[in-house]
Amino acid sequence: MRIHVLHTGKVRVSPYLPFGGDNCNLFKAAGLTTPKKNWLWLPVSVYLIEHPNGLILVDTGWHRSMSPFGEYDAKAQIKSLDSFILYLVNQGMIQKNEAVDEQLESMGIKTSDLEYVLLSHLDCDHANGLKAVGNARHILCARDELECARKHSSVRYRKEWWNGVNLQGFDWNDTEGPFGKAFDLFGDGSVKMINIPGHSDGLCAVKVRNSDGKFVLLFSDGGYATRSWKEMITSGIALDKAKQRKSLEWIREQSMSEDCVESLACHDPDIKPHVITL
């Protein structure tokens, strides 16, 4: 198997959003107390997995409509996100040829060639690009996350990102992970979506494992960088801080395993696009 780590643009946030810690409040995480000059630009990663059972895309990043001309465009972002509030909390941009469908095309892959699109969760920087890959054969996220999106649709999530897309929820069929909730995609342990709640209810890490037991952990927003699990720094955005910390403890344990080939956060500024052979 091979895993392509792709950057689909970047996002600008208050430093307290990714690295606020256990005592961070919502105002700090949203950047209401921090000058824009001190905000951070972070990459927005997605992952293409070449699996014997087909091509799998994890997350979608930003849609081209975020930056129609490959530049920061506030008006376009507000329209793309269908939300002025989300624009205030995180500004995004995506350079030319970096949208997920554009990168797949450059690799000779049609979006219709994707067997699965797996969504770690439904926050804007993970699901805004869904319509660009809407003709994939299967598009899945945890049913718990769909319910979370329904509860928080007035501020955090917008149905507009997946309207017209056949987005399906899955139920847990496996017990791996900090809360004993996982979804084994093929039933052989090679690709599992493992519930790591806290940041959102249905947040999942994706664990890709080969026949020798070696694995790559894609832990999405369970932490925002390697330093998150090394120093146990929770993020500033959490629906349940206790669960978020327990999930981060599990990420740390997995990342330190001798069988872990790589452990990757979606927004780690130290991670560059590369290919992992597993």
What is the predicted pLDDT for the residue at 169? 97
Over residues 192-229, the pLDDT tens digits come to: 999 999 999 999 999 999 999 999 999 999 999 999 99
Residue of 243, 23, 205 whose CA lies nearest to 126 = 205
pLDDT confidence bin for 87, thresholds 50/70/90: very high
Count: domains in the chain: 1
What is the predicted pLDDT for the residue at 218? 98
Asked if residue 53 has pLDDT above 90, the reply is yes
Asked if residue 15 has pLDDT above 90, the reply is yes
Residue 205 · residue 228 · CB < 8 Å? no
Q: For residues 124 and 46, what is the distance between their CA atoms, to the nearest angstrom? A: 13
Residue 3 · residue 278 · CB < 8 Å? yes
Q: Are strands 260-264 and 215-218 parallel, antiparallel or unpaired?
A: parallel
What is the predicted pLDDT for the residue at 155? 86
Q: What is the pTM of this model?
A: 0.96
pLDDT confidence bin for 47, thresholds 50/70/90: very high
pLDDT confidence bin for 112, thresholds 50/70/90: very high
What is the predicted pLDDT for the residue at 249? 98
- Using a pLDDT cut of 90, give the percent of the chain over it: 96
Q: How many residues does the chain have?
A: 278
Residue of 3, 25, 17, 249 whose CA lies nearest to 118 = 3
Over residues 24-45, the pLDDT tens digits come to: 988 899 998 899 999 999 999 9
Return phi, psi of residue 220, to 5°. Answer: 50, -120
145: domain CATH number? 3.60.15.10
pLDDT confidence bin for 153, thresholds 50/70/90: confident
Query: Mean pLDDT of all residues in the chain?
Result: 96
- What is the arithmetic mean of pLDDT over 255-266? 98
Positive/negative CA dihedral, 76, 80, 85, 90 = negative
What is the predicted pLDDT for the residue at 110? 97
Give the Cα-Cα-Cα angle 131, 136, 137 (nearest 5 degrees). 140
For residue 10, the cross-strand partners are 43, 93
Asked if residue 62 has pLDDT above 90, the reply is yes
Specify the 3-state DSSP secondary structure of 161: helix
The whole domain housing 120 covers: 2-277
| Among 52-56, 152-156, 160-164, 265-269, the least confident range | 152-156
Specify the 3-state DSSP secondary structure of 268: coil
